[in-house]
Amino acid sequence: MFFQIIDILGTVAFAISGVLVALDKKMDSFGVLIIAFVTAVGGGTLRDVMIGIEPVSWMRNMTYVYVIVGTTVFTILLRKKINYLRTSLFLFDSIGIGLYTVVGIETGLIAGLHPIICIALGTMTACFGGVIRDILCNEIPVIFRKEIYATACIIGGLTYFLLRKFMADTNLIFIIALIVVIVIRLIAVKFKISLPSLYKGEEL
Amino acid sequence: MFFQIIDILGTVAFAISGVLVALDKKMDSFGVLIIAFVTAVGGGTLRDVMIGIEPVSWMRNMTYVYVIVGTTVFTILLRKKINYLRTSLFLFDSIGIGLYTVVGIETGLIAGLHPIICIALGTMTACFGGVIRDILCNEIPVIFRKEIYATACIIGGLTYFLLRKFMADTNLIFIIALIVVIVIRLIAVKFKISLPSLYKGEEL
Amino acid sequence: MFFQIIDILGTVAFAISGVLVALDKKMDSFGVLIIAFVTAVGGGTLRDVMIGIEPVSWMRNMTYVYVIVGTTVFTILLRKKINYLRTSLFLFDSIGIGLYTVVGIETGLIAGLHPIICIALGTMTACFGGVIRDILCNEIPVIFRKEIYATACIIGGLTYFLLRKFMADTNLIFIIALIVVIVIRLIAVKFKISLPSLYKGEEL
**Rounded to 5, what percent of chain B is helix, strand, coil?**
75, 0, 25
CA C24/CA C32 separation, integer angstroms: 10
Q: How confident is the model at residue C14 (pLDDT cuts 50, 70, 90)?
A: very high
Which residue ranges in chain B fall short of pLDDT 50?
204
What are the C-alpha distances in Å from A37 to residues A15, A68, A157? 6, 6, 25
Does the distance separating the beta carbons of C52 and A49 come in below 8 Å?
Answer: no
C neighbour chains, 3+ CB pairs within 8 Å: A, B
- Please give the average per-residue pLDDT across C166-179, as a whole number: 92
CA B135/CA C99 separation, integer angstroms: 28
Whether residue C123 has pLDDT greater than 80: yes
* Residue C158 at interface with chain B, using a CB cutoff of 8 Å: no
pLDDT for position B81: 82
**Of B52, B117, B150, which has the smallest distance from its Cβ to A54's Cβ?**
B52
CA A132/CA C38 separation, integer angstroms: 14
Does the distance separating the beta carbons of A113 and C59 come in below 8 Å?
Answer: yes
Give tens-digit pLDDT for B153-167: 999 999 999 999 998
Phi, psi of A95 (to 5 degrees): -60, -40
Does the distance separating the beta carbons of A140 and C28 come in below 8 Å?
Answer: no
CA B115/CA B177 separation, integer angstroms: 14
The alpha-carbon gap from B87 to the nearest alpha carbon of chain C, in Å, equals 25
For residue A58, count other CB atoms closer than 10 A to its CB: 22
Give tens-digit pLDDT for B167-204: 888 889 999 999 999 999 999 888 878 777 777 666 54
Give tens-digit pLDDT for C66-107: 999 999 999 999 888 877 777 777 888 888 899 999 999 999
pLDDT for position B201: 62
CA A57/CA B99 separation, integer angstroms: 27
What percent of chain C has pLDDT above 90? 61
Phi, psi of B103 (to 5 degrees): -60, -45
pLDDT tens for chain A, 204 residues long, are: 777 888 888 899 899 989 988 998 889 889 999 999 999 999 999 999 999 999 999 999 999 999 999 999 999 998 888 777 777 778 888 888 999 999 999 999 999 999 999 999 999 999 999 999 999 999 889 888 776 788 999 999 999 999 999 988 888 999 999 999 999 999 988 887 777 778 766 644
Taking a C-beta distance cutoff of 8 angstroms, is the pair A127, A149 a contact?
A: yes
* Residue C19 at interface with chain A, using a CB cutoff of 8 Å: no
pLDDT for position B65: 95
Phi, psi of A103 (to 5 degrees): -60, -40
pLDDT for position C71: 95
